[in-house]
Amino acid sequence: MTANVTQLKSQNSATLTDNSSNKRIDFPMLEGSVGPKVIDIRKLYAETGHFTYDPGFTSTASCESKITYIDGDEGVLLYRGYPIEELAEHSDFSEVCYLLLKGELPSASEKRKFEHDITVHTMVHEQLTRFYQGFRRDAHPMAVLCGVVGALSAFYHDSLDISDARQRMIASHRLIAKLPTIAAMAYKYSVGQPFMYPRNDLNYAENFLYMTFGVPCEEYKVNKTVARALDKLFMLHADHEQNASTSTVRLAGSSGANPFACIAAGIATLWGPAHGGANEAVLQMLQEIGSKDRIPEFIRKVKAKEEGVRLMGFGHRVYKNYDPRAKVIQKSCHEVLGELGVKDEPLLEIAMELERIALQDDYFVQRKLYPNVDFYSGIIYKAMGFPTAMFTALFAVARTVGWIAQWNEMIEDPAQKIGRPRQLYTGHGRRAYVPLHRRG
Ligand code: ACO
């Protein structure tokens, strides 16, 4: 592994003029390896007594990172410098996990060792299986994941010391290895079938399919095309820079919280419909539209912003162009449906027609709204046999490696501090307490 030399260096500076005091203050500009320059405002409060105001972090870089790069205008996504399209075509999920965690693609022997390191952790502590009985059978898998992943902290005390690099790596391997087991168990519990122990002779995606759809009384034959498509979907979802769930993991981790607790926080954030929950929302939307002739009426409602109606699976905070992951998924969607003999899937037809209409409608064009990763993924998951409620859990399985790579990077960063944003306070100023009997 080559050492990553930090790319930050001061070039020009930015000058802020405070009109109230006529004071001019220079702030250094930092330059990354690619992407926009960044104004370093760390001294702003000390020098001016002012904060910046940036709800939603639309203009704020919260950290330095070497893991993932996105150029939203060009529709580019790189993992450690490698374009996502090339990885999706030629690589596999275990290699991508290694790349994200360690910074370089593995050699053949490094890959074998890494796969071994992961597979030895695929089982969960037997006592953890009893947690499931505490949930209702109709619990959402993401609710189960939040609880069970958080509970891992109560089982693996030998990998909680975040100051020990070896323990951090063991916790990372455990999380990557156990998430498919935990997610598959959430599904099994919901349908009343026995949990399936992992099979370490299968690869990551194959084993997940086996644990989800296999039953003890029958042999389960992995469909290679389906497994390869799932592996590809896992690669596409593995990391995505400082999105809401990753930023949550970093923020939780900045307090020194253990990795299992941090990933549980990431899972909770991913669940929201504006983030990972969108894949589930897309399918519900397509089902509600129901037929191609109802699309114009739906588009009208979206444009009228009726009751907050949005075209789910469209738009992205960073991509103002086609999400490169959506392109790969759209192609994969046709392959999987072909392999599974799903002819004329009506939801795919509705999705394609929606996309066609939206891409030429002024409302979407002007706002640069393009399909994102979630637009087609749900259709593939449905064809593979996953119930809609499992879609976001699949996202969580894939994103765990990104979260844990970002968490490790943060812990190792000497500039790391507890994350503590400030605020623009608009509430009451100081006032005297009014006793209950004097309140009107
Ligand atoms: N459908 C209709 N209009 C939209 C959509 C959409 N999907 N997305 C954005 N807009 C409109 C907004 O109404 C707004 O219009 P306005 O300027 O007239 O007020 C404008 O586009 C900008 O939208 P914002 O909400 O300010 O954009 P933001 O960057 O905050 O939101 C988000 C990004 C949350 C992804 C948004 O596009 C959205 O809700 N999309 C649908 C949900 C979705 O697919 N999420 C998955 C994202 S990818 C991921 O997390 C894996």
CA dist 143 and 96 (Å) reads 27
pLDDT at residue 84 is higher than 90: yes
At 307, the pLDDT band (50, 70, 90 cuts) reads confident
Q: Is 92 a catalytic residue?
A: no
**C-alpha torsion 165→167→171→176, nearest 10:** 60
Q: Which amino acid would we find at residue 432? A: A
**What average pLDDT does the segment 336-350 reach?**
85
pLDDT tens sequence across 209-222: 999 999 999 999 99
CA of 315 to the centre of ligand 1 (A): 5
User: What angle do helix axes 165-191 and 141-151 make, rounded to 10 degrees?
Assistant: 140
Q: Is 374 a catalytic residue?
A: yes
* Of 73, 369, 374, 376, best ligand 1 pocket probe by most atoms within 8 Å of the beta carbon: 369
Could you tell me which residues come within 8 angstroms of residue 438 by beta carbon, excluding any fewer than 6 positions away? none
Q: Quick one: DSSP state of residue 411?
A: H
Residue 8 has pLDDT above 80, yes or no: no
pLDDT computed for residue 3 by the predictor? 32
What angle is formed at CA 273 by the lines to CA 267 and CA 279, rounded to 5 degrees?
A: 85
The β-bridge relationship of strands 10-18 and 23-30 is antiparallel
Residue 357 scores a pLDDT above 50 = yes
pLDDT over 70 at 6, yes or no: no
Of 313, 325, 322, the residue nearest 282 (C-alpha): 313
C-alpha to C-alpha distance for 279 and 272, rounded to whole angstroms = 10
Ligand 1 atom nearest to 314, measured from its CA: 7
Ligand 1: which of 245, 306, 317 to mutate, most ligand atoms within 8 Å of CB?
317
Q: What is the pLDDT of residues 273-290, one digit of tens each?
A: 999 989 989 999 999 999
Distance 292 CA to ligand 1 centre (A): 23
- Any idea what the Cα angle at residue 192 is, between residues 189 and 196, rounded to 5°? 60
Out of 92, 231, 316, 323, the active site residue is 316
Atom of ligand 1 lying closest to residue 323 CA:
48
Ligand 1 pocket, 316 CB below 6 A? yes
The token duo for 297 is 């009426």
**Cβ of 41 below 6 Å from ligand 1:** no
Among the options 18, 374, 413, 437, which is catalytic?
374
Please state the atom number of ligand 1 nearest to the C-alpha of residue 375. 44
Residue 425 CB coordination number (10 Å): 7
Is the CB–ligand 1 distance for residue 302 below 6 Å? Answer: yes
5: amino acid identity, one letter: V
Whole-model pTM: value is: 0.92
